[in-house]
């Protein structure tokens, strides 16, 4: 990890040069409109899903929240299990792990969420946060979530492969992929240590269909693929016949 970190820092001028160009050319998209808290009726024990994260949790890239990650994942859980699903998306543009730890989790009501999905790490990666900083901030976020919802299953979705993101020039994408690898390795280790589950990396099979018009955020098809990817990780730890989720601690 040290060698890769050094290589990425040596390439920092490339990151600044190409990154500024991408930012100037890329459309600044707003969070989707629509509800961020909803209930899907069903039978049996309630399945209470909270998605905390950055712009992906805010459904940036699509027009309506019903096409975003939280709503799609909740809908798939409902379809698969038949259980009632209460879901909430607490997502914020450009949020980092430290900001979620300090400003989001403390301000969420301690409702009975049985499953908490964390969609965070991309901004820490592209902001060139060091491994030490991400360890402190993401590790603190895990502690905060586990303390507030001790019985919940906590699942983290790691950063996708940057070389598959259409908005990024090839050289910049390779630099960011090194940073993504650092973030993902640190995050996976912290999840193992602090009672959370790490999903496998979301495969980007069709970049043209999976990304919105800005070439960076997910499209409707992308969020649907992401939700379908996360579904087995959620349901493997939950009873599909109505039981509550066991503690992930």
Domain containing 229 equals: 2-24+31-235
- Assess if residue 135 is contained within a domain: yes
> What pLDDT shows up at residue 239?
35
- Assess if residue 194 is contained within a domain: yes
- Assess if residue 245 is contained within a domain: no
Q: Where are the alpha helices (DSSP H) in the chain?
A: 2-10, 12-25, 69-81, 97-99, 122-126, 131-148, 170-193, 207-210, 220-235
pLDDT for residue 184 is more than 70: yes
- Assess if residue 240 is contained within a domain: no
Confidence of residue 247 (pLDDT cuts 50, 70, 90): very low
Task: For residue 82, give the 3-state DSSP assignment.
Answer: coil
Taking alpha carbons only, the member of 152, 84, 151, 86 closest to residue 118 is 152
- Assess if residue 244 is contained within a domain: no
Edge to edge, the sheet with strand 197-198 lists 37-40, 85-91, 47-53, 115-119, 153-156, 197-198
> What pLDDT shows up at residue 16?
59
**Strands 85-91 and 37-40, sheet pairing:** antiparallel
- Assess if residue 242 is contained within a domain: no
For residue 108, give the CATH number of its domain. 3.40.50.1110
pTM of the model: 0.86
Per-residue model confidence as pLDDT tens digits over 46-82: 999 999 999 999 999 999 999 999 999 999 999 999 9
- Assess if residue 248 is contained within a domain: no
- Assess if residue 55 is contained within a domain: yes
Number of domains in the chain: 1
> What pLDDT shows up at residue 28?
75
């Amino acid at each position: 990890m040290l060698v890769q970190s050094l290589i990425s820092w040596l390439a920092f001028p490339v990151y600044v040069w190409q990154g500024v160009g991408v930012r100037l050319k890329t459309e600044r998209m707003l969070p989707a409109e629509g509800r961020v808290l909803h209930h899907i009726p069903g039978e049996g024990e309630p399945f209470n899903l909270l998605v905390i994260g950055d712009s992906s949790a805010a459904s940036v890239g699509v027009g309506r929240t019903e096409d975003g990650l939280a709503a799609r994942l909740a809908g798939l859980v409902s379809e698969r299990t038949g259980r009632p699903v209460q879901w909430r998306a607490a997502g914020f543009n450009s949020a980092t792990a430290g900001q979620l730890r300090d400003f989001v989790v403390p301000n969420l009501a301690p409702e009975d969420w049985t499953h908490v999905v964390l969609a965070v790490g991309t901004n820490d990666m592209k902001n060139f946060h060091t491994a030490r900083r991400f360890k402190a901030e993401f590790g603190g976020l895990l502690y905060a979530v586990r303390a507030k919802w001790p019985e919940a299953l906590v699942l983290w979705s790691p950063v996708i492969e940057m070389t598959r993101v259409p908005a990024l020039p090839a050289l910049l994408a390779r630099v960011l992929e090194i940073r993504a690898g650092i973030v993902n390795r640190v995050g996976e280790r912290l999840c193992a240590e602090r009672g959370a589950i790490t999903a496998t990396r979301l495969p980007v099979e069709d970049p043209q269909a999976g990304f919105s018009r800005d070439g960076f955020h997910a499209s409707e098809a992308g969020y649907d693929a992401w939700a379908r990817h996360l579904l087995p990780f959620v349901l493997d730890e939950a009873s599909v016949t109505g039981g509550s989720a066991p503690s992930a601690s």
